[in-house]
Amino acid sequence: MQDNGITPSQTVGPFFKYGLTPTGEYAWNDAFTNSTLTPDVTGERVRIEGRVFDGDGVAVPDAMLEIWQADAQGRFADPQDKRALPNASFRGFARCGTDKDGNYSFETIKPGAVPDPDGKPQAPHILLAVFGRGMLRHLYTRIYFSDEAGNAADPVLAVVPADRRATLTAVREAGKPVYRLDLRLQGDNETVFFDV
Amino acid sequence: MTLIYPVDSNTAHPLPLSPEYKSSIKRAPNKPLIPMRHTLSELTGPVYGHETVREGDSDLTTQHTGEPLGERIIVHGHVRDEDGRGVPNSLVEIWQANSCGRYVHVRDQHPAPLDPNFTGAGRTVSDASGYYRFVTIKPGAYPWGNHHNAWRPAHIHLSVFGHSFVTRLVTQMYFPADPLFPFDPIFNSVPDEKARARMVSSFDLENTQPEWALCYRFDVVLRGKNATPMENH
């Protein structure tokens, strides 16, 4: 009888860099960069940056982050999104390894609103997966934007305790298209991770 | 056909905190994961096809001027969903230690030789039936600092995408009957014995190439079930 249980996750380990995020340091090419930007992409170009910390508040120098997001019109570059725009080479995916101080950054565009299963708009958000040594399975979280009025009515933020929502909200720097969000894997101000 | 991704399937995965694996102690969330309904954001995912992969990327033995040392092997199998359907056009990335158990990563200081003819990284895309294939070198076991006399069983790291962002999988493929299995906290972080067995490849004599390379089969099962399954008769 065929056993169709899923293949379990295992940690990405400490040595993934030369395979997944070589960024010119190894004899291997990058399938992905930390940018989703394409020449034809429309929307507000933003940078999202921050640091990743462990339960002792120590920077995590060997995490890998991946983002998945809609374009500025709220459409996904996936044929499963039947509304997908045919005119953009935008792919909506990027990958970044943290540096020795736990820093990460993404260059992207602010996504448009995406409907929830009831057709109600969600506030603009980006899905974020966090991988790392010591993490047996990656963790899923979301990035929201501090200057979006729609956050107050977002159906996913609504299921998060109010005092933890700030861990999902990237804060805009005054006068710059830059948002900042630190991730805390454990402890005080632990980032909200979702069971998806 | 619309696929759904029941969260129950995630019970196959290790728990975030697995104290025998020391690095998990400070990197596992203390608070429970928050349940939420899947929205279009979770149900869609990045689509990376053949344009992502260059010719030769799936052969880790031909990336340098000479041939790497070690035992040449073929690793192949299907990427499938929970109903057994092949997952086509799925990017599969691998990375591994060389035949001596040494990674090319600068932070790997295990005193075993590097091989100038082996980087240890590859990628491919599954075909229309979900089939993928690599040619590589059998990686060696290596010591690590988790506990006294800790050795990792030989393994190849795999990163697989699938149909949606929630099917994303990073795992490790092991080799049959490795004597190190009982002592490895990462392998044993998977609580269910049957689930652990799904991380172990099988020796494939039929596809072993005479006078050239042994073959191992490794099928990867990603999340995803048909929302409206057909009746079984």
pLDDT value for A87: 58
Q: Do A5 and B198 count as a contact with CB atoms less than 8 A apart?
A: yes
Query: Average pLDDT for residues A106-115, to the nearest whole number?
Result: 96
Nearest alpha-carbon partner for B136 in B151, B162, B115: B115
Q: Is the pTM of this model over 0.95?
A: yes
Average pLDDT along chain B, 233 residues, taken 10 residues at a time: 93 97 98 97 91 94 97 98 96 98 94 97 97 98 97 98 97 98 98 98 98 98 88 48
- Asked if A166 and A193 count as a contact pair (C-beta separation under 8 A), the reply is no
Return the structure tokens found at A22.
Answer: 């070589």
Nearest alpha-carbon partner for B168 in A128, A164, A72, A145: A128
Confidence class of residue A80 from pLDDT cuts 50, 70 and 90? confident
Q: What residues of chain A, 96 to 115, have a C-beta less than 8 Å from chain B? A: 114-115
Contacts of B97 in chain A (CB under 8 A): 15
What count of other Cβ atoms lies within 10 Å of the Cβ of residue B197? 14
Give the residue carrying structure tokens 């102690």: B25
In eight-state DSSP terms, residue B111 is S
- Hey, which residues does B157 pair with through a beta bridge? B95, B172
Return the structure tokens found at B119.
Answer: 């980087």
- Asked if B24 and B185 count as a contact pair (C-beta separation under 8 A), the reply is no
> At the topology level of CATH, where does A34-184 sit?
Protocatechuate 3,4-Dioxygenase, subunit A (2.60.130)
pLDDT value for B233: 42
Nearest alpha-carbon partner for B110 in B139, B145, B71: B145
In eight-state DSSP terms, residue A55 is T
Which of A14, A137, A192 lies at the smallest CB-CB distance from B13? A137
Of 3.90.180.10, 3.40.50.2300, 3.20.20.70, 2.60.130.10, which CATH number belongs to B38-105+112-226? 2.60.130.10
In eight-state DSSP terms, residue B59 is B
Confidence class of residue A2 from pLDDT cuts 50, 70 and 90? low
Query: Average pLDDT for residues A163-175, to the nearest whole number?
Result: 97
Q: Do A192 and B34 count as a contact with CB atoms less than 8 A apart?
A: yes
For residues B190, B194, B200, B202, the Cα torsion angle rounded to the nearest 10 degrees is: 180
Q: How far apart are CA B197 and CA B106, in angstroms?
A: 32
Q: Exactly one of B157, B168, B196, B217 is catalytic; name it.
A: B157
The domain spans of chain A are 34-184
The helix (run of H) or strand (run of E) holding residue A17 is helix A17-20
Q: Is the CB of residue A88 less than 8 Å away from at least one CB of chain B?
A: no
Q: Do A28 and B119 count as a contact with CB atoms less than 8 A apart?
A: yes
The domain spans of chain B are 38-105+112-226
- Hey, which residues does B59 pair with through a beta bridge? B135
Q: Is the CB of residue A9 less than 8 Å away from at least one CB of chain B?
A: yes
Q: Do B46 and A78 count as a contact with CB atoms less than 8 A apart?
A: yes
Q: Do A137 and B16 count as a contact with CB atoms less than 8 A apart?
A: yes
pLDDT value for A86: 55
